[in-house]
Amino acid sequence: MALFNCSFHNHTVLSPCADISMSSDLYKELLLKSNINWLAITDHNSTRNIRPFINYFSNTDIKIVPGIEVQTIEEVHVIILFNKLDEAEKFGKFIESSLIINKYDPEKFGYQICLNGEGDFEYILENPYLGSSSKYSINKLVMEAKKYETIVFPAHIFRAFGLITQLGLPPKDIEFDAVEVKNEKEIEFAKDLGFSNFIFGNDAHTPDELNHFSCQVRAKNRSFIALKEAIYNKKVYPIWQH
Ligand SMILES: [Zn+2]
Ligand SMILES: [Zn+2]
């Protein structure tokens, strides 16, 4: 068993609200400094930058998990991590085509930049607007995500766009693999609501948010299966930033 330094929630230049510097080049520099060696890329409502990131990091010791942060019709943020890149990409297209707002002003809301495998800017995604909600409900989203090998967890559940902030109580008929919380108190609140598995991410939108890891995972390797096992076996340890 080894102990890996992780963050399972991070944005790139593709997310309109992320800093325009959040390219694979800068990620590499920051991850080497902060010693993060297992992370998920989870842009808002799209998976377009995952393949470029995986290609870019293929000759390094940094392992990338394909993911997406979807905004449901209830304005709840849900993260889905995938075992297989091609399935993540298929799901990303499915979500993009479900977004309610198509046209947007990048000057106002931020550019949506797609990278190539060398880490260079390839093109600007003009539509849809990735900061939009999907037309899908949280129930529909989780049902669709579970058709694939996935880890599904609501993001920052007590913060803006979080499950509990938006809905008040956890939906009775949905089973999540974990929930994302931000401090010790939130873990206790989440336990009171019946949650028992936890996961942690930096939710990095800016370079300074990648200068630490948000958790450590004890696992035999950095495979998707090992991550899922670690979540259920409570081998994901938070590293709080106070
Ligand atoms: Zn979010
Ligand atoms: Zn996020």
Query: Which CATH number is 17's domain given?
Result: 3.20.20.140
Amino acid 241: pLDDT: 85
CA of 97 to the centre of ligand 1 (A): 19
CA of 189 to the centre of ligand 1 (A): 19
SS3 assignment, position 78: strand
Interacting residues of 172 by C-beta distance below 8 A, sequence separation 6+: none
Amino acid 75: pLDDT: 98
- What is the span of the domain harbouring residue 197? 2-238
CA of 181 to the centre of ligand 1 (A): 12
Q: Which ligand is located closest to the Cα atom of residue 78?
A: 1
Interacting residues of 83 by C-beta distance below 8 A, sequence separation 6+: 148, 149, 150, 224, 225
Average pLDDT over residues 156-174: 97
The pTM of this model reads 0.98
CA of 88 to the centre of ligand 1 (A): 18
CA of 222 to the centre of ligand 1 (A): 24
Amino acid 227: pLDDT: 98
Q: How many domains, the chain?
A: 1
Q: What is the distance between the alpha carbons of residues 114 and 196, in angstroms, rounded to a whole number?
A: 36
Amino acid 171: pLDDT: 96
Query: In which band, very low, low, confident or very high, does the pLDDT at 12 lie, cut at 50, 70 and 90?
Result: very high
CA of 206 to the centre of ligand 2 (A): 11
Q: What percent of the chain has pLDDT over 90?
A: 98
Q: What is the distance between the alpha carbons of residues 111 and 119, in angstroms, rounded to a whole number?
A: 16
Instruction: Look at residue 52 and tell me whether its pLDDT is greater than 90.
Output: yes
